[in-house]
């Protein structure tokens, strides 16, 4: 038996990930992000359900009334957000320790991203069982996560476009790869499904044909703070997954409206205007909290407007915005790679050195990139291209 280096759980010999907290067991590494004893307890304890209670938050002589169902959601949300940060920290540590080049990124990040999400899926399952829902497994919760729209996946577009552009500039099966990339970006934004697997095979096949310098340019342009801020955001969505499973299985659970409201945005912009009637601010804030309780700008305004108010401090703390940061990861959290000199333009097949330079196809410039999720895939280029072509034929791409 071996022990997890983070939570101390007993594991079977040869385990690569802890089944309790989701952390990587091999290779052993030093913790780069601080975890408090409370964080570790949250990750290792069995989660039980929450009984919401009607709550009243005084504010400027009036009251913000929180019903029991909303209080229950708020308790779930704050607990999951805290665990989501713990899990995204562990994922970032795994990335820093193990991902050293573009090939590592394509092969390791997908498993890393999913495995650290499993701890959240386990805790959601704990709560569902405590709510007498016995037909939902942690695998079903993970499937719901993998097939949802994931913020980190949006970054796939950038790296896919850049690899595709350089791939085409190198004159390597350009039409096949371009069509494949377009099929993925247009139709799929989650981990699940055949479309994803075929896209990943083709993407790795394309990336494998790039020169060492080109691969290094792409890899070292990945915006790691942005990537892991998105990972953290994705992990927070387990709160919504939990509520959806509760509602689907007959437990009436409140779910807030996270959609953007132009009206609320406009009011927030005008609240700080000196001409805004001060006697209306209290009622307007109470109404906004009732409609959009998890809009951070509301609490930023309250903290600036009433910096010494104990009532505001309690309101902000209750909704979990007392330590809110739009970006929890910054450049200081990640090692800084050495800059890579751009590679000279690639001469397409059949073009001689004597032809004018302006007629040559240049390698596309590489800006700051991010990376979305990929499924683990085979290493051989021929296998990847073959599966990609099979995918295109299946879906009618010519």
Q: Tokens at residue 64, please? A: 């913000």
In terms of residues, how long is the chain?
Answer: 398
State the residue for tokens 């690899």. 163
Give the global pTM: 0.74
- Please, which residues have CB within 8 angstroms of residue 20's CB and are 6 or more apart in sequence? 4, 7, 9, 43, 44, 119, 122
Q: How far is Cα 39 from Cα 27, in angstroms, rounded to an integer? A: 22
Q: How far is Cα 169 from Cα 163, in angstroms, rounded to an integer? A: 10
The whole-number pLDDT of residue 191 equals: 61
The whole-number pLDDT of residue 380 equals: 37
Q: How far is Cα 314 from Cα 111, in angstroms, rounded to an integer? A: 40
| φ, ψ dihedrals at 369, nearest 5° | -110, 160
Listed residue (305, 329, 325) closest to 315, CA to CA:
305
| Residue 280: its H or E element | none
Q: What angle do CA 222, 223, 227 make, to 5 degrees?
A: 105
Q: How far is Cα 371 from Cα 161, in angstroms, rounded to an integer? A: 11
The whole-number pLDDT of residue 88 equals: 96
Other CB atoms within 10 Å distance of the CB of residue 34: 7
Q: Tokens at residue 86, please? A: 């713990």
Query: What's the Rg (C-alpha) of the chain?
Result: 25
| Residue 77: its H or E element | helix 68-98
The whole-number pLDDT of residue 369 equals: 33
Give 2's DSSP letter.
E
Q: How far is Cα 252 from Cα 250, in angstroms, rounded to an integer? A: 6
* Region of residue 250 (phi > 0: left; psi between -120 and 50: alpha; otherwise: beta): left
Q: List the chain pLDDT tens, one digit each, 398 residues.
A: 666 766 667 777 777 777 777 666 654 444 578 888 888 999 999 999 999 999 999 999 999 999 999 999 999 999 999 999 999 999 999 999 999 988 888 778 888 999 999 999 999 999 999 999 999 999 999 999 998 888 887 776 677 777 777 877 776 444 555 555 444 444 445 665 554 555 566 667 777 888 889 889 888 888 999 999 999 999 999 999 999 999 999 999 999 988 888 999 999 999 989 999 999 999 999 999 999 999 999 999 999 999 999 999 999 999 999 988 889 999 999 977 655 555 555 555 555 555 444 443 333 333 333 333 333 333 333 444 454 444 445 444 44
The whole-number pLDDT of residue 364 equals: 38
Q: Tokens at residue 332, please? A: 């200081």
| φ, ψ dihedrals at 341, nearest 5° | -70, 135
Listed residue (258, 21, 26) closest to 121, CA to CA:
21
Q: How far is Cα 285 from Cα 209, in angstroms, rounded to an integer? A: 56
């Amino acid at each position: 038996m071996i022990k997890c280096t983070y939570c101390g759980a007993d594991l079977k010999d040869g385990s690569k990930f802890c089944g309790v907290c989701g952390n990587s067991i091999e290779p052993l590494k030093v913790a780069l992000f601080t975890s408090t004893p409370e964080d570790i307890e949250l990750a290792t304890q069995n989660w039980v359900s929450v009984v919401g209670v009607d709550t009243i938050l005084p504010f400027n002589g009036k009251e913000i009334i929180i019903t029991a169902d909303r209080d229950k959601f708020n308790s779930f949300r704050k607990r999951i957000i805290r665990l989501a940060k713990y899990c995204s920290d562990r994922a970032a540590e795994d990335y820093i320790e193990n991902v050293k080049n573009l090939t590592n990124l394509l092969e390791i990040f997908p498993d890393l991203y999913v495995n650290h999400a499993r701890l959240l899926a386990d805790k959601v399952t704990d709560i569902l069982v405590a709510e007498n829902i016995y037909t939902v497994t942690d695998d079903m919760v993970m499937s719901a996560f993998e097939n949802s729209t994931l913020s980190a996946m949006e970054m796939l577009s950038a790296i896919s476009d850049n690899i595709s552009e350089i791939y085409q500039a190198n004159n390597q099966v350009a039409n096949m790869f371009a069509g494949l990339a377009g099929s993925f970006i247009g139709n799929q934004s989650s981990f699940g499904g055949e479309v994803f697997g075929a896209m990943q095979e083709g993407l790795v096949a394309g990336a494998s044909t790039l020169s060492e310098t080109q691969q290094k340019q792409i890899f070292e342009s990945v915006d790691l703070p942005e990537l892991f801020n998105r990972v953290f955001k994705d992990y927070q969505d387990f709160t919504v997954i939990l509520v959806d499973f509760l509602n689907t299985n007959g437990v009436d659970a409140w779910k807030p409206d996270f959609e953007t409201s132009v009206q609320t945005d406009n009011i927030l912009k005008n609240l700080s205007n000196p001409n805004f009637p001060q006697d209306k601010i209290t009622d307007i804030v109470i109404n906004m909290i009732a409609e959009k309780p998890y809009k951070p700008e509301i609490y930023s305004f309250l903290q600036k407007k009433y910096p010494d108010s104990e009532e505001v401090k309690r309101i902000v703390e209750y909704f979990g915005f007392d330590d809110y940061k739009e970006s929890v990861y910054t450049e200081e959290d990640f090692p800084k790679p050495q800059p890579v000199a751009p590679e000279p333009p690639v001469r397409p097949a059949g073009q001689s050195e004597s032809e004018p330079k302006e007629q040559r196809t240049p390698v596309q410039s590489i800006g700051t990139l991010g990376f979305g999720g990929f499924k683990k895939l085979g290493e051989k280029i021929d296998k990847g291209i073959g599966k990609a072509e099979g995918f295109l034929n299946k879906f009618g791409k010519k």
